[in-house]
Amino acid sequence: MNIQQNRRLQEKLAAEYVLGTLRGAARRRFQTWLQTDAHLQQLVRDWEGRLMPMVEFAKASPVRDTVWQAIAQRIQTARVQRSALRTFIDSLGLWSSISAIATAAVLILAVMVQNNRDTGNLANNYVATLSDEKAQAVAVVSSDVKAKQIVLRFVKSPFADVPKDKSLELWSIAKNGKIRSLGLLAADEKAGVLRISLPAEVELDTPDLLAISLEPRGGSGNPEKPSGPILFKGNWLKLT
């Protein structure tokens, strides 16, 4: 197989390189190729632009004292001052969040490769990672241009902690601040994938932000405003 003529494989390798999942000899070969191939260099820059914005969701999470104590015992740091080690351990919380984002990014890559395997073209597609206030991803959202739908693929179930008298509702928030309900999320969703057809007045390029709110059973009652708290949100990014 001539990799230099396989555009689809080039896209895949460039994405894996940016994500850090291309390793060992394969990564070294890619780096050698990257030094002399202008097209591949552009692919890498494109994927950096697509995936790196998700790092904005990475917020440091403090590590519990019990975790610190277990680590301290294991590495026998009797001569290391507690404050210095604690500062280092606390910084690991950031990497935990980034790891979750990387997982979501891998899912985004898989979604885009699947959606575009026939054309190899990523243009006009949109993606979002919906995360909670602790930067824990709950869903990867992608666009289906032909069907005018958005597709939610759940990283973990958002329904586990939802009371029976409550519903989850998806919202589009446009750049001009206009809010529009995109519909309720099915609480019995078990397949891990949910498709939502967009209302007539909402196009795929309308949202700037997607959000999921906790609502009374049946929804907000106002299609232009959530009545409950926002649980998850994420920027709706165009893959260009």
Q: What is the pTM of this model?
A: 0.56
Higher pLDDT, 56 or 178: 178
The predicted structure's pLDDT at residue 120: 46
Residue 128 and residue 235 in contact, taking contact as beta carbons nearer than 8 Å: yes
Indicate left, alpha or beta for 29 from its phi (over 0: left) and psi (-120 to 50: alpha).
alpha
| Predicted confidence band of residue 74 (pLDDT cuts 50, 70, 90) | low
Does the pLDDT of residue 144 top 90, yes or no?
A: no
Overall average pLDDT of the 67-75 stretch: 57
Q: pLDDT: is 49 or 113 the higher one?
A: 49
Is 59 a residue whose pLDDT tops 50?
A: no
Looking at residue 118, its pLDDT comes to 40
User: Which residues have C-beta within 8 Å of that of residue 104, sequence separation ≥ 6?
Assistant: 54, 129, 137, 140, 155
pLDDT bin (cut points 50, 70, 90) of residue 66 is low
Please name which of 191, 196, 193 lies closest in space to residue 153, comparing C-alpha atoms.
193
Residue type, 201: E
Q: Regarding predicted confidence, which is higher, 139 or 51?
A: 139
pLDDT level of residue 212 (50, 70, 90 thresholds) = very high
More confident residue, 167 or 186: 167
* Confidence band for 218, pLDDT divided at 50, 70 and 90: very high
Mean confidence (pLDDT) of the chain: 74
Own/partner pairs for 201-206, CB < 8 Å, 24+ apart?
202/172, 203/148, 204/124, 204/126, 204/143, 204/145, 204/148, 204/150, 205/126, 205/238, 206/172, 206/174, 206/180
Q: 1 pLDDT band (50/70/90 cuts)?
A: low
User: In angstroms, rounded to a whole number, what is the distance separating the alpha carbons of residues 53 and 80?
Assistant: 37
CA–centroid distance for 130 within its chain: 6
| 117 confidence band (pLDDT: 50, 70, 90) | very low
pLDDT attached to residue 56:
46
How far, in Å, CA of 207 to CA of 201, rounded?
Answer: 11
- pLDDT mean over 148-168: 87
CA torsion, points 100, 55, 18, 35, in degrees to nearest 10?
A: -160
Query: What percent of the chain lies above the pLDDT cut of 90?
Result: 17
Is pLDDT at 31 greater than 50 in this prediction?
yes
